[in-house]
Amino acid sequence: MKKLAAVVLIFTVFLAVTACQRNNNGAPDQTQAPAASPTGSPAGTPAASPSGAAGTVDAEAVFSKNCVACHAADLHGGVGPNLQDVGARLSAADITTRISGGGGGMPAFKGTLSDAEIQALADWLSAKKG
């Protein structure tokens, strides 16, 4: 029971922090400095997708800001599953669907993240083959 309460508390804090980083209309606060990308990728891959609009998004920075609480900075997991080799298990399209719609305990990020951020994350994670 205590573990469940701890998980609920962590999730609530995560949601509160995420909500505090948005302005009143739900858009990201443009007055904040952009999140710094952590030094070095967990698997040494480029931070952003090499193609399309997602190519201008720093996927590592988006991950650090929105995903680290559950998946850890090195992608090993914790509350959420290990993502170090997620690209070996799921396609970029599958990852996009999971990020957008959530499922299996993961919240949906459609509406929280832009389509370009979701695509950049999916492209970056699909390159993680272990």
- Segment 67-79 mean pLDDT: 96
Please state the length of the chain. 130
Higher per-residue pLDDT: 16 or 75: 75
- What is the C-alpha to C-alpha distance for residues 107 and 110, in angstroms, rounded to an integer? 9
Range of lowest pLDDT (54-58, 65-69, 71-75, 76-80): 54-58
| pLDDT tens by residue, 45-65 | 444 434 445 569 999 999 999
- What is the C-alpha to C-alpha distance for residues 109 and 100, in angstroms, rounded to an integer? 5
The pTM of this model reads: 0.60
Collapse the DSSP code of 106 into the 3-class scheme (helix H, G, I; strand E, B; otherwise coil) and give the result: strand
Residue appearing with tokens 């998004």:
57
User: Which pLDDT belongs to residue 130?
Assistant: 80
* Average pLDDT value for the chain: 76
- Segment 66-71 mean pLDDT: 96
- Provide the residue ranges of all domains of the chain, joining segments of one domain with +: 46-126
| pLDDT tens by residue, 87-101 | 999 999 999 999 999
Give the ranges where 1-130 is alpha helix by DSSP (H): 2-20, 59-66, 68-71, 86-89, 92-101, 115-126
CB proximity list for 73: less than 8 A, separation 6 or greater: 38, 42, 64
Assign domain 46-126 to its CATH architecture: Orthogonal Bundle (1.10)
CB proximity list for 85: less than 8 A, separation 6 or greater: 128, 129, 130
CB proximity list for 9: less than 8 A, separation 6 or greater: none
Q: Is-contact 128 83, C-beta < 8 A?
A: yes
User: Which pLDDT belongs to residue 106?
Assistant: 95
